[in-house]
């Protein structure tokens, strides 16, 4: 009779230890290796859709050490044209995914919706821009001009008037990156808020592990809303 409580306590301790180990491993993996991410907006259509769920490789670009404000050594640096997950410069704590189009030292411009890098048009088969003549509000154009002016080359401050699809040329400053959404007509991206510090980078999408049509989509069942063809696909 006296062995049963001791045996129960021992079993509880073993289960508690196993649970703590599992939680620790999960936290280490989530912090330094892989994290899940959900696409909440259409800014990256048609590459990424609302309702896509991704795994993000956090080790590739150097995972951030919590509370230390430092990063582990990167396997390699981000490259032009890659999809990158990063912390928002406007809303700390909010995570975004966009297309990296500019590295430090690059000279960027946009002419009638065409991205120009170092004087040459960039081939962007992933970009969707059905309205290259679209113009932003006067308030947003003033906002664009304010952050761009210190980085403009070859244009006087008084005559420089950027718009959503016509701006630059700008030089990307050191330790900074420039991002655009693939859906150029519906993306709130670097054109509005400027450059992103290299330290804000979190990782690169690995693959889509689940995808479903968003709420409001008329389908007879949950299974009919699942985008089966997108599961395990590699976003590029």
Residue 152 shares a structural domain with residue 54: yes
pTM beyond cutoff 0.75: yes
Asked if the structure places residue 236 within a domain, the reply is no
Asked if the structure places residue 90 within a domain, the reply is yes
d(CA 27, CA 199): 21
Residue 109 shares a structural domain with residue 217: yes
68-113: per-residue pLDDT in tens?
678 889 999 999 999 999 999 999 889 999 999 999 999 999 999 9
Residue 20 shares a structural domain with residue 45: no
Secondary structure of 148-182 in HEC code, one letter for each residue = HHHHECCCCCCCCCCECCEEEEEECCCCEEEEECC
The single residue of 10, 41, 88, 98 carrying the catalytic annotation is: 98
Residue 127 shares a structural domain with residue 226: yes
Which of 2-16, 117-131, 151-165, 174-188 has the weakest average pLDDT? 2-16
Structurally, the chain folds into a number of domains equal to 2
Is there a catalytic annotation at residue 98?
yes
Is there a catalytic annotation at residue 43?
yes
Residue 10 shares a structural domain with residue 106: no
- Note whether 47 and 183 are within 8 A (CB): no
170-226: per-residue pLDDT in tens?
999 999 999 999 999 999 999 999 999 999 999 999 999 999 988 766 666 777 889
- CATH number (domain holding residue 69): 2.10.109.10
Range of the domain at 159: 33-230
The single residue of 8, 17, 43, 218 carrying the catalytic annotation is: 43
């Amino acid at each position: 009779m006296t062995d049963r409580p001791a045996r129960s306590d021992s079993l509880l301790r073993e289960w508690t230890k196993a649970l703590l180990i599992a939680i620790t491993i999960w936290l280490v993996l989530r912090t330094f290796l892989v994290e899940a991410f959900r696409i909440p907006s259409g800014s990256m259509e048609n590459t990424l859709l609302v309702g896509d769920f991704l795994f993000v490789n956090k080790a590739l670009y150097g995972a951030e050490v919590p509370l230390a404000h430092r990063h582990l050594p990167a396997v390699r640096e981000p490259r032009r044209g890659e999809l990158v997950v990063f912390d928002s410069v406007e809303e700390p704590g909010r995570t975004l995914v966009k297309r990296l189009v500019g590295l430090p030292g690059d000279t960027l411009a946009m002419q009638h919706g065409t991205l120009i890098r170092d004087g040459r048009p960039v081939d962007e088969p992933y970009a969707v821009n059905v309205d290259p003549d679209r113009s932003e509000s006067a308030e947003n154009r003033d906002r664009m001009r304010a952050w761009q002016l210190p980085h403009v080359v070859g244009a006087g401050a008084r005559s420089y008037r950027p718009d959503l699809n016509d701006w630059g040329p700008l030089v990307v400053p050191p330790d900074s990156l420039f991002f655009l959404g693939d859906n150029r007509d519906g993306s709130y991206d670097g054109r509005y808020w400027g450059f992103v510090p290299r330290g804000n980078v979190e990782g690169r999408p690995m693959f889509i592990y689940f995808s479903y049509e968003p709420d409001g989509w008329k389908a007879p069942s949950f299974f009919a809303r699942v985008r089966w063809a997108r599961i395990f696909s590699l976003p590029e």
